[in-house]
Amino acid sequence: MTEVCDSFGAQPREFNGENDHVHLLVYYPPKVALSTLVNSLKGVSARLLRKEFPSHVRTYLRDGHFWSPSYFAASCGGAPLSIIKEYIENQKRPDQRPGGEREAIPPGRERPGFLAK
């Protein structure tokens, strides 16, 4: 991921994930088309994972594809970087959170323009 980001002049700031999705916090310059960056991250990571773990990856393929064609992106310019990093570090699936709550933003840390999945 770091090498792909470097090739775009982008900087990965935080990374976390589950077995079927990832959360990334990436700074990228305004000249970079977000869709191009995301497609490159997905393509390169899929190739590397298929090469290193071919039999394991097959269990996660959807119609022959490792990643879905969709993604979610949000601007987080209004929130302090530490809050965004904390959010990503603490992401868990709803069924893994106490009480099954859907939002992982710590209480009292909500910020305008900061979106949870």
Domain span at 114: 74-117
Separation between Cα atoms, residue 28 and residue 45, nearest integer Å:
18
Instruction: Output phi, psi for 16, to 5 deg.
Output: -160, 160
pLDDT in tens, 43-97: 999 999 999 999 888 888 888 888 988 998 988 777 777 888 788 888 765 555 5
Read off the amino acid at residue 81: L
Residue written as token pair 């970087």: 81
Separation between Cα atoms, residue 59 and residue 93, nearest integer Å:
19
Show the tokens assigned to 74: 């949000």
pLDDT in tens, 5-47: 999 999 998 888 887 788 898 999 999 999 999 999 999 999 9
Together in a domain, 17 and 52 = yes
Together in a domain, 56 and 82 = no
pTM: 0.67
Q: How many domains does the chain have?
A: 2
